[in-house]
Amino acid sequence: MKVAALQTALTDNVEANVRRITELVREAAGKGAQVILPSELFEGAYFCQTQKEEDFARARAATEHPTLVHFQELAKKLGVVIPVSFFEQAGPEYYNSIAVFDADGTHLGVYRKSHIPDGPGYQEKFFFKPGNTGFKAFATRFGTIGVAICWDQWFPEAARAMTLAGADVLFYPTAIGSEPEEPDFDSRDAWQRVMVGHAVANAVGVVAANRIGVEGGMTFYGSSFVCDARGDKLAELGRDAPGIALADLDLEKIRRVRASMGFFRDRRPHLYRGLVE
> How far is the C-alpha of 24 from the C-alpha of 28, rounded, in Å?
6
Find out whether 59 and 47 touch, Cβ atoms under 8 Å: no
Say if residues 38 and 242 touch (Cβ distance below 8 Å). Answer: no
User: Under a CB-based contact definition with an 8 Å cutoff, are residues 99 and 62 in contact?
Assistant: yes
C-beta of residue 233 within 8 angstroms of C-beta of residue 249: no
**Known catalytic membership, residue 150:** yes
Look up 48 and say whether it is catalytic.
no
Catalytic residue among 2, 43, 113, 227: 113
Nearest to 113 by CA among 73, 74, 141, 83: 83
Which H or E element spans position 159? helix 156-164
The pair phi, psi for residue 20, each rounded to 5°, is -65, -45
CA distances to 159, 223, 234 from 165, rounded to whole Å, are 10, 28, 25
Q: Of these residues, 2, 150, 215, 227, which one is catalytic?
A: 150
CA 205 from centre of chain: 13
Catalytic residue among 40, 43, 124, 215: 40
252 catalytic per annotation: no
End-to-end CA distance of the chain: 38
Say which amino acid occupies 252.
E
**What is the distance between the alpha carbons of residues 269 and 277, in angstroms, rounded to a whole number?**
13
- List active site positions: 40, 113, 150
